[in-house]
Structure 1
Amino acid sequence: MTDFPRLSVLDLVPVRSDQTSSDALAAMRELARAADSLGYHRYWVAEHHNMPAVASTNPPVLIAMIAAATERIRVGSGGIMLPNHAPLVVAEQLALLEAAHPGRIDLGLGRAPGTDPVTSFALRHGAGGVSEDAVSRFPEYVDNVLTMMAPEGAQISVRGNQSVLRATPVAGGVPQVWLLGSSDYSARLAASRGLPYVFAHHFSGSGTAEALELYRSTFQPSEHLDAPRTFLTVNASVAESAEEARRRALPQLQMMLALRTGQPLGPQVLVEEAEKVDAPPAQVELLDKMAARYVIGDAGQARARVAELAASYGVDEVMVVPIAGAHVGTEPHSAPARLETLQLLAG
């Protein structure tokens, strides 16, 4: 392992209280171009639905936008929630993106809903199954996507007749497939299929070491991968001073607090709006616990923390979620604090 790990980006495309969805997407493109020029290795986008503060609803569409706006960075999903979609549709979308941007596309797959139960039902009803059935068939869906994206395609038998089903007519290459998770389920599945795996450390914050050890110790080499491969995800707010970095982290921390305590969700507030919130002691304690799992500080502190985390979990790549909030008066189509986080971490 090198002294400092390779850096990548995970973007949820946050929507602030001063932004429209169009503004948030413009800020995303600016951030992706910066990550590309700064030498970041990957730029992934998440899948969340019906959330006022998140514009990342459709990873394939966002991947197309980002890949077209950048030159060399790998672009992918972190991830596509596979039970929400028909496997063939996912295979076709990502195969097409790989054809358009050869060697630059990653397909991260997860089995969580990424939304509330009502929206989940609406998504999965269209995919041909009830929610419980779609989740239980996740391993089968993963196998289907892998097979249909392969150049030889999948052999399908219908009423005794054999047909070949391909995601794209003449595949010159396939996206790199990763399994994502926040429990040991996907760690076991990734190990059994010989696929790379990422634990959602940025979201869960606990169980990371156990999940990675389970993945590594039970990994079975495959045609996809001959040895375990993983990296770490972590939330980050970096500024010229540690105090300013902490201020910028507050809007994200308050949003996560609302999510975990069942409070109503809205667009991500601005820094000054967050500072006006008078939280009770119990919530302040929870905010502090969450912040302790983030990378928050000036450039030197943040880079040292990233290196420490990489060494602790035995990874040579860290994917940061730039969560730094914006101040009142920020241009709506930009995200300068998130941009500064990437710049300062890159060194």
Structure 2
Amino acid sequence: MDIQELAANLLAGDRRSLARAITLVESGRDDHRVQALELMELVQKSKREALRIGLSGTPGVGKSTFIESFGMMLVGRGLKVAVLAVDPSSARTGGSILGDKTRMELLTRERNAFIRPSPSQTELGGVARRTREATLLCEAAGYDVVLIETVGVGQSETVVAQMSDLFLLLLAPAGGDELQGVKRGIMEMADLILVNKADGDLKAAAQRTRADYAGALHLLRRRPQDPDGFPKAATVSAIEDAGLAEAWDDMQALVEWRKTQGYYAQTRADQAQYWFVQDIRNGLLGQLDREPLKSAIKGYAAQVSEGEISASFAAQTVLDALKGLP
């Protein structure tokens, strides 16, 4: 693969090259990883930036429907939109359905939209291992907005907040009953809580749910990077396109305020440091899957299961061996 040519085509906005580049960075092969690092260095020089929006929500809340309606609205305003949808992988087989693209039929046909489903594989945090690099590739390809959809909602899915400029929490009308099921951690990271399906018979329930969450947000400690009125809760209807324009206005206002106050640039710098450390940790963990440590770990595991040595002693022995590797 000619990495120089791939980078040039990607920077020119070629969608096929973008897809190939994401496939490359997601590959687990060592030779592909070397090429991926070369590619990332080439495209990073473009210094292009997109608004990164993380999106999480309870199962069945209508994340795909919301993304399609919201994305179509942004495309209609002349913006280029990329969607990185992460699907959960089976713990047994490792497979994923990757059905998000089929649920966004209208957005898929748009020339100024790019949709890429990826398996979460063994990664926690609601995102795939290389989602951040895929985000950077979408930025380099000239997309104005990158939507990062996580696999679900909970304590671990807050990792997406470490790679986005805005974090949206999407909920369904439930008269406030869902409030007990949403973890405080994810609420503290949310910039906007959007109650979807605010239409038809559910409209009144959506308004009540919004009020419940608005009250809950007031009880949380105010973050220095938020102006008055944020974080906030609002209602939207992806089917009727209601509230989407207002939500977009809120996002733009929040981002503009953070840029003016210096929080936007500082957050991106902090995120870059976070992922630097994460890449080091992932690299160290990857050493455990390579010889000779892989065989050694298997041998120690057998001794631990037989009760010949303690798990703590075996683990420390492996760590000591890791220190001696080149």
Question: Same fold judged by TM-score > 0.5?
Answer: no
* TM-score, length basis structure 2: 0.32
TM-score by length of 1: 0.31
Higher helix share: 2
Structure with the greater relative contact order (CA < 8 A, sep ≥ 6): 1 or 2?
A: 1
Structure possessing the higher radius of gyration over alpha carbons: 2
User: Would you tell me which structure has more strand in proportion to its own residues?
Assistant: 1
